[in-house]
C-alpha cells in the first residue's frame, strides 16, 4: 500500500500574531513511519497540534484519506475519525491495572461508556490480549499502571491509542527519558505498528531517528526546510546550519 493518507497543505498557525507555523506542507503515505525534526521552536509540536485539531490553523488545509477535510474539525472529531495523538507526558490511569487501562480504550472505541460495568465480550478480551502482546506487557497485565517503568508507561499509552484503532498516530518525543534498551524496543514497536498504520514522530533524539527513520522531514522557522532519507538530510548544509545556529 503506497497511497496518501494525509496531506497538509500550506498550514499556518499564529499565536497572538506570532507565526509559529508559516506555510508548512507534509504528505504522509499509508504504512509510513515519518520523523519530523528541526531545532527547538521550529514549529514541530504546533504542526502536530494543527493536524489533530488541538490548535486551529489560520490558513491551509489538512486532508485525511484523500477527501476528508479535517482542518476545521474539533479535536475529538478528528480523533474519532482515526488520527490519534500522544503527548509527551503519559496520560494513563496510574491506580488502574495495565489491563484496565487498555479496557477503557476498547470500550471508548465503541462509544458505550455505560458498558464499563458490564461484562467484557470475548472479542474485546482478545483485542486487549493482542494489545498487551504488541506492547510487550503480556506479563504485566495485572500490574498497577503507576508501578510500571517510564518506558512501559509510554508503551501502555501507545497500546491505549492502538486499541482505538487510529489510522494515523502522532507522537511527540516518545523516547524522551527512556533507557537505551527501552528506546530500541520503542523503535521496533513503531516499525511493527507502521506495517498497517501511519506514524508521524516529532523527535530530538538523532540516534533514534538514524536507527529507525526511512524518511525525515526537517522544519525550521515554521516551514519545511528539507525532506529525504536521514543520510540525504544529514548531508544538507542548511540542516547543519540551523542546528548549529540553535
Ligand atoms: P518545536 O516543537 O519545534 O520545538 P513548537 O511548535 O513547540 O516548536 O513552537 C514553535 C514556536 O511557537 C515557538 O517559538 C513557541 O514558543 C511558540 N509557541 C508554541 N505554542 C505556543 C502558544 N500556545 N502560545 C504562544 N506561542 C507558542
What ipTM, to 2 d.p.?
Answer: 0.97
Mean pLDDT of the chain: 91
Q: How confident is the model at residue 122 (pLDDT cuts 50, 70, 90)?
A: confident
- The response to whether residue 41 sits with its C-beta less than 6 Å from ligand 1 reads yes
- The response to whether residue 44 sits with its C-beta less than 6 Å from ligand 1 reads yes
Residue 59, classified by CB atoms within 10 Å of its CB into exposed (0-12), middle (13-18) or buried (19+), is: middle
- The response to whether residue 46 sits with its C-beta less than 6 Å from ligand 1 reads yes
Measured between alpha carbons, how far is 170 from 44 in angstroms, rounded to an integer? 11
pLDDT in tens, 192-217: 999 999 999 999 999 999 999 889 99
Hey, what's the cell of 76? 475529538
* 3-class DSSP assignment, residue 194: coil
Identify the pLDDT of residue 112: 43
Weakest mean pLDDT among 42-56, 92-106, 192-206:
92-106
Q: Residue 111's CB: how many other CB atoms inside 10 A?
A: 9
Q: How confident is the model at residue 113 (pLDDT cuts 50, 70, 90)?
A: low
Q: How confident is the model at residue 95 (pLDDT cuts 50, 70, 90)?
A: very high
Domain locations in the chain as residue ranges: 1-82+168-174+197-246, 91-165
Q: Which residues contact 208 (CB under 8 A, 6 or more apart)?
A: 175, 183, 186, 187
Residue 87 clears pLDDT 60, i.e. is over it:
yes
Closest ligand 1 atom to 39 CA: 3
Given a contact cutoff of 8 angstroms between Cβ atoms, the answer to whether 161 and 169 are in contact is: yes
Measured between alpha carbons, how far is 37 from 62 in angstroms, rounded to an integer? 20
pLDDT in tens, 162-175: 998 999 999 999 99
pTM over 0.80: yes
Instruction: Provide the percentage of residues in the chain whose pLDDT is more than 70.
Output: 93
Which residue stretches of 83-221 are H helix? 98-109, 122-134, 150-163, 180-193, 206-212
- The response to whether residue 246 sits with its C-beta less than 6 Å from ligand 1 reads no
Measured between alpha carbons, how far is 189 from 63 in angstroms, rounded to an integer? 27
Ligand 1 atom 13, closest CA:
41
Q: How far is the CA of 50 from the centre of ligand 1 (A)?
A: 12
Identify the pLDDT of residue 195: 93
pLDDT in tens, 174-188: 999 999 999 999 999
DSSP state of 8: E
Measured between alpha carbons, how far is 233 from 240 in angstroms, rounded to an integer? 9
* Of the candidates 228, 181, 226, the residue with the CA atom closest to the CA atom of residue 208: 181
Q: Which one is predicted more confidently, 159 or 121? A: 159
Mean pLDDT of 46-61: 96
Residue among 43, 51, 56 to mutate when testing ligand 1 (max atoms within 8 A of CB): 43
Closest ligand 1 atom to 42 CA: 3
Q: Name the one residue in this structure whose C-alpha cell is 461508556.
A: 113
- The response to whether residue 242 sits with its C-beta less than 6 Å from ligand 1 reads no
Angle at 90 between CA 33 and CA 85, to 5 degrees: 40
Which CATH architecture best describes the domain 1-82+168-174+197-246? 3-Layer(aba) Sandwich (3.40)
Measured between alpha carbons, how far is 4 from 104 in angstroms, rounded to an integer? 31
Q: How does strand 223-228 pair with strand 215-220?
A: antiparallel
Give the DSSP H or E segment for 50: helix 44-52
Closest ligand 1 atom to 219 CA: 3
Ligand 1 atom 16, closest CA:
41
Q: Name the one residue in this structure whose C-alpha cell is 482515526.
A: 82
Amino acid at each position: 500500500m503506497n497511497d496518501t493518507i494525509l496531506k497538509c497543505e500550506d498550514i499556518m498557525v499564529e499565536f497572538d500574531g506570532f507565526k509559529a507555523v508559516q506555510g508548512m506542507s507534509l504528505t504522509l503515505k499509508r504504512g509510513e513511519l515519518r520523523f519530523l525534526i528541526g531545532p527547538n521552536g521550529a514549529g514541530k509540536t504546533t504542526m502536530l497540534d494543527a493536524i489533530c485539531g488541538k490548535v486551529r490553523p489560520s490558513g491551509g488545509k489538512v486532508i485525511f484519506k484523500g477527501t476528508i477535510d479535517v482542518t476545521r474539525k474539533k479535536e475529538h472529531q478528528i480523533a474519532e475519525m482515526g488520527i490519534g495523538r500522544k503527548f509527551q507526558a503519559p496520560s494513563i490511569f496510574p491506580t488502574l491495572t495495565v489491563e484496565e487501562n487498555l479496557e477503557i480504550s476498547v470500550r471508548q472505541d465503541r462509544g458505550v461508556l455505560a458498558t464499563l460495568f458490564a461484562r467484557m465480550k470475548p472479542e474485546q478480551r482478545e483485542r486487549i490480549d493482542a494489545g498487551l502482546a504488541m506492547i510487550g506487557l503480556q506479563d504485566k497485565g495485572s500490574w498497577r499502571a503507576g508501578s510500571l517503568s517510564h518506558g512501559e508507561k509510554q508503551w501502555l499509552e501507545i497500546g491505549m491509542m492502538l486499541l482505538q484503532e487510529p489510522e494515523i498516530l502522532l507522537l511527540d518525543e516518545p523516547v524522551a527519558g527512556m533507557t537505551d534498551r527501552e528506546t530500541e524496543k520503542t523503535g521496533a514497536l513503531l516499525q511493527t505498528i507502521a506495517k498497517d498504520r501511519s506514524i508521524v514522530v516529532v523527535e530530538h533524539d538523532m540516534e533514534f531517528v538514524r536507527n529507525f527513520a526511512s524518511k525525515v522531514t526537517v522544519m525550521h522557522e515554521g516551514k519545511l526546510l528539507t525532506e529525504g532519507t536521514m543520510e540525504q538530510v544529514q548531508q544538507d548544509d542548511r540542516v547543519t546550519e540551523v542546528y548549529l545556529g540553535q
